[in-house]
Amino acid sequence: MAYQLINGKQIAKEIRLELKHEVEQLKAEGLQPGLAVILVGNNPASETYVRGKIRASEEIGIHSQLIRMNDTITQEDLLSKVRELNEDPNIHGILVQLPLPDHINPDKVIEVISPSKDVDGFTPINMGKLVIGQRGLLPCTPYGIMQMLDRTGISLEGKHAVVVGRSNIVGKPMAILLQQANATVTLCHSRTVDLPHYTRQADLIIAAVGKLNLITKEHVKPGAVVIDVGMNRNDAGKLAGDVNFEEVAPLTSAITPVPGGVGPMTIAMLMKNTVSAAKAIWQR
Ligand SMILES: NC(=O)C1=CN([C@@H]2O[C@H](COP(=O)(O)OP(=O)(O)OC[C@H]3O[C@@H](n4cnc5c(N)ncnc54)[C@H](OP(=O)(O)O)[C@@H]3O)[C@@H](O)[C@H]2O)C=CC1
Ligand SMILES: Nc1nc(=O)c2c([nH]1)NC[C@@H]1CN(c3ccc(C(=O)N[C@@H](CCC(=O)O)C(=O)O)cc3)C=[N+]21
Ligand SMILES: [Mg+2]
């Protein structure tokens, strides 16, 4: 069966181009959006992702500042840095790259980020707004997936969406957004008994676990749409998702690849949130 390969890389490129034009206009009016990225330590995966974020900012014309901190830094010093950025008028978006070293409590760090500069959408205020349906900054990965589905013309109304993974940064906000788009949502996790029983009923599967090849052909109903959030390394050391692409893709009506699917959308939405934050802060 022919399936549609959802080209997240291309959709993300289009969004970045739209943002570039918007930033050109804002700059002409005297506003340059600014993003600060804090990277603690030198985890190689984090280095790659942060580089992607800085590169996208430069391309769009967003002022970016990369703040590197040693992994021996104290939690208090990290909190002070965030508070300083909260007060910096040239910075409209603050992102603290996760994961953080074990001696730092990520919840404490996220909590001090000003909600109006929280371009990850991770603060309790923005998470709370999401849950009660108020406008706020949305978490980039679920937001990017919603944009990707929308721009691909995949409707959600009345569909059964099964989200696998319940993290605060992907699975949980994803389930909320899908439900707000009138899908019927099932949220699965590591204690789910008989995962394929649920995923086989899905019109849309969102796999956000972090386990190579977790989703096989036995998990998928013919014609389903499959979105792969996972970022894993396979035996050959290559990036691969949670979905066994080779065997699953022919069963689907549409599927995202890894790389080139959800990842680039996440970065595009970070850029979108930074522009939105800049406009909102500027207007008040
Ligand atoms: N492309 C992108 O832009 C992004 C990709 N990622 C990637 O997505 C993946 C998930 O990230 P994240 O949400 O942060 O990960 P977490 O590790 O925080 O969460 C993983 C979730 O998967 C669940 N889980 C674990 N094993 C199973 C299983 N066998 N069956 C069903 N559910 C299971 C866990 O359940 P429980 O709650 O019970 O522990 C948990 O809810 C990772 O590969 C990450 O690298 C993440 C962010 C952005
Ligand atoms: N505060 C915070 N915010 C995040 O948004 C955040 C985070 N911490 N910690 C880690 C996860 C992971 N994440 C990704 C972003 C882009 C790609 C991405 O661009 N992936 C490319 C490939 C990149 C490569 O080649 O390695 C792709 O899928 O095509 C992947 C993963 C954001 N995260
Ligand atoms: Mg991807």
CA of 215 to the centre of ligand 3 (A): 15
pLDDT the model gives residue 97 = 98
pLDDT per residue as tens digits for the range 199-236: 999 999 999 999 999 999 999 999 999 999 999 999 99
Judge whether 30-115 and 140-262 match in fold. yes
Region 30-115: CATH code: 3.40.50.10860
pLDDT the model gives residue 63 = 98
Chain-centroid distance, C-alpha 21: 23
Q: Which CATH superfamily is domain 140-262 in?
A: NAD(P)-binding Rossmann-like Domain (3.40.50.720)
Answer whether 32's CB lies under 8 Å from 63's CB: yes
Sign of CA dihedral 18, 63, 65, 120: negative
The domain locations on the chain are: 30-115, 140-262
Is 134 one of the catalytic residues?
no
Is 194 one of the catalytic residues?
no
Is 97 one of the catalytic residues?
yes
pLDDT per residue as tens digits for the range 156-198: 999 999 999 999 999 999 999 999 999 999 999 999 999 999 9
CA of 170 to the centre of ligand 3 (A): 13
pLDDT the model gives residue 104 = 98
Question: Is the shortest distance between the CB of 231 and ligand 1 below 6 Å?
Answer: yes
CA of 244 to the centre of ligand 3 (A): 14
pLDDT the model gives residue 284 = 78
Beta bridge mates, 94: 36
What is d(CA 141, CA 278) in angstroms, rounded to the nearest whole number?
Answer: 20
165 is in an annotated binding site: yes
pLDDT the model gives residue 268 = 98
* Ligand 2 pocket, CB under 6 A: 48-49, 52, 95-98, 120, 140, 231, 239, 258-260, 263-264, 266-267
CA of 257 to the centre of ligand 3 (A): 6
Q: Which atom of ligand 1 is nearest to the CA of 242?
A: 43
Answer whether 106's CB lies under 8 Å from 100's CB: yes
- b/e per residue 25-35 (b: at least 16 CB within 10 A): ebeeeebebbb
What is d(CA 133, CA 52) in angstroms, rounded to the nearest whole number?
Answer: 30
Chain-centroid distance, C-alpha 268: 9
Can you point out the beta strands (E) in 183-282?
A: 184-188, 204-207, 225-228, 232-233, 239-240, 254-255
pLDDT the model gives residue 199 = 99
pLDDT the model gives residue 283 = 85
pLDDT the model gives residue 3 = 98
Residue to probe by mutation, ligand 1, list 190, 198, 214, 227, most atoms within 8 Å of CB? 190
pLDDT (tens place) for every residue of the chain, 284 residues total: 799 999 999 999 999 999 999 999 999 999 999 999 999 999 999 999 999 999 999 999 999 999 999 999 999 999 999 999 999 999 999 999 999 999 999 999 999 999 999 999 999 999 999 999 999 999 999 999 999 999 999 999 999 999 999 999 999 999 999 999 999 999 999 999 999 999 999 999 999 999 999 999 999 999 999 999 999 999 999 999 999 999 999 999 999 999 999 999 999 999 999 999 999 999 87
